[in-house]
Amino acid sequence: MDSKLRDYTTAPLFTHQKSSFLGADTRLLFLQQLQGKLDLYDVFQIFTQEIDKYIDVSKLSWHFDNECALIKSTDMPKYHTYCFSLSFDERVLGELHYQTPYTLEPEEQTLLHHYHRLFAGSLNNALEFRRIKKMALRDHLSDLGNRACFEQDIHHALAISERRAVGLTLVIFDLDNFKQVNDRYGHLNGDKVIRSFSKALKKSVRASDRCYRLGGDEFIALLQPSTEQSAEKVTLRVIEALSIHPILQHFNIGTSFGYANYHDGDTSASLIERADRRLYYHKRNK
């Protein structure tokens, strides 16, 4: 047997309390710490701090739907993997994947089950809070971010560009002939146009970029990281997508756009102002 492996599998390095029994005081204190916590980071931090009292966890990750979040990672060996399903009131809350430097004893696995049951209610509340928060930041017609989401994200994006010298480009779009569609064919068809353009816009940017509908037929894309050529690449892809989209072609929908690249000292207002000027110049010179 490899000596390094033998050290971790046979040596008595497990120094935590091993009992799988959780007393009433321990349970109450843990639940009190979780009470009122609605941020996923806070909930998992309290959980891992508690588990660390009993078990050496080399790595812990949480898998939920298509999401995978790394909760904890250390330099300890990762010889053994354990997977536990989480649920609360029949709602599936994903899985926790543990990696440890040694085989977990039955009472240690039982202890984890106990903590998972105690933890599940708070995890469920945090997930529900996140869902509601996301809904509040979504434009439900386009399924893009709304104005509140944009205002939140642009400040974060500006801070990143200031600190790390990462390129940032803001692109504003509006739709040509959209008013005529609403006036002639009605708002239901206007809604179809909005949804179709939103999908085309989303497909034209990268996963790291963000798209928003500010209202009416006004859209914004935030490109980060970006270069001087990023706006041109995205707008060309949008124009191409519109040219082959059956609904947008049927209603003769085009787009006008303007963009601004981040410069030192820029604010959201200065970026939007420069992009707006280019947008109106583009409209006038079509």
pLDDT tens digit string along 254-278? 999 999 999 999 999 999 999 999 9
d(CA 278, CA 284): 10
* Closest alpha carbon to 16 in 111, 95, 84: 111
Q: How many CB atoms lie within 10 A of CB 62?
A: 19
What pLDDT does residue 286 have? 79
- The pTM of this model reads 0.67
For 147, the domain range is 138-284
Can you give the pLDDT at residue 268? 97
pLDDT over 60 (residue 20)? no
Examine the fold and report which residue of 114, 136, 158 is the final residue of a domain before the chain moves on.
Answer: 136
Measured in residues, the chain has a length of 286
- Chain segment 66-93, per-residue pLDDT in tens: 889 999 999 999 999 999 999 999 999 9
Based on the domain organization, do 214 and 88 belong to the same domain? no
> What local confidence, expressed as pLDDT, does residue 63 receive?
97
pLDDT of 8: 32
Do 217 and 185 belong together in one domain? yes
Which residue pairs, CB below 8 angstroms and at least 24 apart, start in 189-194?
A: 189/251, 191/141, 192/247, 193/247, 193/248, 193/251, 193/253, 194/141, 194/142
Same domain, residue pair 265 and 155: yes
182 and 255: one domain? yes
Reported as a pLDDT band with limits 50, 70 and 90, residue 23 is: confident
Give the C-alpha separation, 279 to 257, whole Å: 5
